[in-house]
Chain A
Amino acid sequence: MARRRSFLLGVTALCVAALLPQRTAAQASVQILNVSYDPTRELYRDVNQRFAQRWRAASKQQVAIRMSHGGSGKQARAVIDGLPADVVTLALAYDIDEIASRAKLLPANWQTRLPNNSAPYYSTIVLLVRKGNPKNIRDWNDLIRPDVKVITPNPKTSGGARWNYLAAWGYAQRKYGSPAKAREFMTRLFRNVPVLDSGARGATTTFAQRGQGDVLIAWENEAFLATNELGRGKFEIVAPSISILAEPPVAVVDRVVDRRGTRQVAEAYLKYLYTGEAQDIIARHYYRPRNPQVAARYAARFPRMQLLSIDRHFGGWGRAQAMHFNDGGLFDQIFEAAKR
């Protein structure tokens, strides 16, 4: 009995020893954590690899960039709750504002610290339809036709969905002239939405993989990814007449980098995003680059569209959030009315 017991103990100890993560090798280098939103996985995989090479050449130090992806709002919440992000690269400024105001991890003026409102790339919202565009969808007003099923995620949980919603709202307000008419338009649009996924990725999967709906409202980069990688020739992108300028911003999280002593590498990492090399990677991953030369090189890829600005046309994220997406706000009222 005693022998058997010590044997069991030995086996257990061996198992535990084998299972413990091997950390010693990693400690010689520096690690930073980039907390990002869903669709940037492929982008940052390439960016991180190149940046690590550049950093090693410049400072003789190994850098490992760890990634965490999820819905933008959820990720912000995790950082507020203590996820030790050295940098955040989220879907919208509002989510980083929340980190600044609720957890005081970075100053309120964080967005002025880097060029272009701290957004090294931008994107917009487009419509993705099935091959041959069988429902003949050309613009936003086709989405309220009773024969069209629209896939878009839930604006309560998804940053991308908020951009989708505001793009449609901006179109309606310009086209029909009044907020009341825009509200009517949005109600008819959401009547055509059979399912609200919680994130942009989920919505893309619902549309592309599970074959639901006639049109997906999506990030331009998501739409490109779906047409080029999920099924070549199965989908087409339709650029609406009006859309929105979506600026996914980036920021160093001061309290974290100062505690971990990683400020230098974290700041270099974000600055690297503005270099010609990174801008090229960015354009290849279907985000619109800021650098004029790179933008000119990829001009054929990105259709010219009239893009509304969140600051100029919606009074900034604070106002847009309070008016449309807070509990009892316009989205809740529209969604309630659409269900009836």
Chain B
Amino acid sequence: MAHPRHLSEPRLLQLLLIGIALAYLGLMIFLPLGAVLVQALQDGSGAWVAAVTEPDALAAVRLTLLVASIAVPLNLVFGVAASWAISKYEFRGKTLLVTLIELPFSVSPVVSGLVFVLLFGAQGWFGEWLASRDIEIIFAVPGLVLATVFVTFPFVARQLIPLMTMQGREEEEAALSLGASGWQTFWRVTLPNIRFGVLYGVLLCNARAMGEFGAVSVVSGHIRGETNTMPLQVEVLYNEYNFVAAFAVASLLAGLALVTLLLKSFLEWRHGDELAARH
């Protein structure tokens, strides 16, 4: 059905808007991404491979994936539980809980890192206790995980709260009244309804977990091959005037982000009908 002409914007304005959007995208997204790739491949693909398979770089990749694979599931469970509580029940202090969930978004990542130094650092509240038991948190993997969890925990909950609030409780109530158990209701009714929101939250959470710099930098200690995640390794290499290697690792990081995005598109494409049918 043709759109009535007089209800649409003039052709020129349409073109202008599209042009502005594309130019902006090109300038702000594609140009920098392209620059990273050009720099990374400046000395040929051999240099790129050498840079990303160097032991410290591999350690950084492994550490980044390890941290994300702990932080993301934790925040998935927390996010679903919190949004369930907030959207399906009424209780005192609900607004406060919502505000608290969003706190990591408004706190600077540097402060988020320092909080953990203040708690678990040698001079911190639990510093003596931890040191006497030889437990390492700050400047070791647990600290990196804690900082990442803190910074990324709003992502899943933020996706789910509006979605679950909109859906209300009728379907769950129906399932329960037909004799389903609590778990059955969750797996068969609630989860299928929110799976796309969950997926989207997890992907965003994962992207941020792998890319986080500020908070992680504070608690890392920057030990080469040990507590440098990929973003930190990029900075280290850049500061060593090793620009090709720095951008090679950066391009790998960008590649991981692209894989995340492709995964999302793929799932949308495969399960698009199912997802659409449910709404």
Contact among A33, A68, A82, A202 with B121 in the assembled complex (CB-CB below 8 Å): A82
From residue 132 to 163 of chain A, which have CB atoms closer than 8 A to chain B?
none
A68 touches B131 (CB 8 A): no
Interface centre among B120, B138, B222, B225 (most CB of A within 10 A): B222
The DSSP consensus for interface residues of chain A is helix
| Smallest Cβ-Cβ distance to B222: which chain A residue | A68
Contact among B63, B66, B69, B123 with A103 in the assembled complex (CB-CB below 8 Å): B123
Q: Which residues of A contact B136 (CB under 8 A)?
A: 84
Q: Does A21 contact B (CB under 8 A)?
A: yes
A230 touches B139 (CB 8 A): no
**Chain B 111-151 against A: per-residue CB contact (8 Å), 1 yes, 0 no?**
00000010011111001000100001011010000000000
Interface segment, one of A12-20, A185-193, A235-243, A263-271: A12-20
Q: Which residues of A contact B236 (CB under 8 A)?
A: 69
B122 touches A19 (CB 8 A): no
| Interchain CA distance A62-B52 in the complex, whole Å | 26
| Interchain CA distance A82-B73 in the complex, whole Å | 29
Q: Which residues of A contact B187 (CB under 8 A)?
A: 1
| Smallest Cβ-Cβ distance to A19: which chain B residue | B66
| Interchain CA distance A287-B223 in the complex, whole Å | 23
| Interchain CA distance A66-B221 in the complex, whole Å | 11
From residue 1 to 38 of chain A, which have CB atoms closer than 8 A to chain B?
1, 12, 15-16, 19-21, 33, 38
Name the distance in Å between A32's Cβ and chain B's nearest Cβ: 11
Q: Does B172 contact A (CB under 8 A)?
A: no
Q: Given A68-B222, A68-B223, A229-B241, do A82 and B127 touch, yes or no (CB 8 Å)?
A: yes
Contact among B69, B122, B226, B239 with A205 in the assembled complex (CB-CB below 8 Å): B239
Q: Does A80 contact B (CB under 8 A)?
A: yes
A66 touches B224 (CB 8 A): yes
B222 touches A69 (CB 8 A): yes
Name the distance in Å between A309's Cβ and chain B's nearest Cβ: 30
Q: List 13 A-B contacts (CB under 8 A).
A: A12-B73, A20-B66, A21-B63, A21-B141, A21-B226, A41-B240, A66-B223, A82-B138, A103-B122, A103-B123, A205-B238, A205-B241, A225-B241
Q: Interface of A with B (CB < 8 Å)?
A: 1, 12, 15-16, 19-21, 33, 38, 41-42, 66-70, 78, 80-84, 102-103, 201-202, 205, 209, 225, 229-230
Extra 14 A-B pairs, beta carbons < 8 Å, given A21-B66, A21-B141, A67-B223: A16-B69, A19-B65, A19-B66, A38-B239, A41-B240, A68-B221, A68-B223, A69-B224, A81-B121, A82-B122, A82-B138, A205-B239, A205-B241, A229-B241
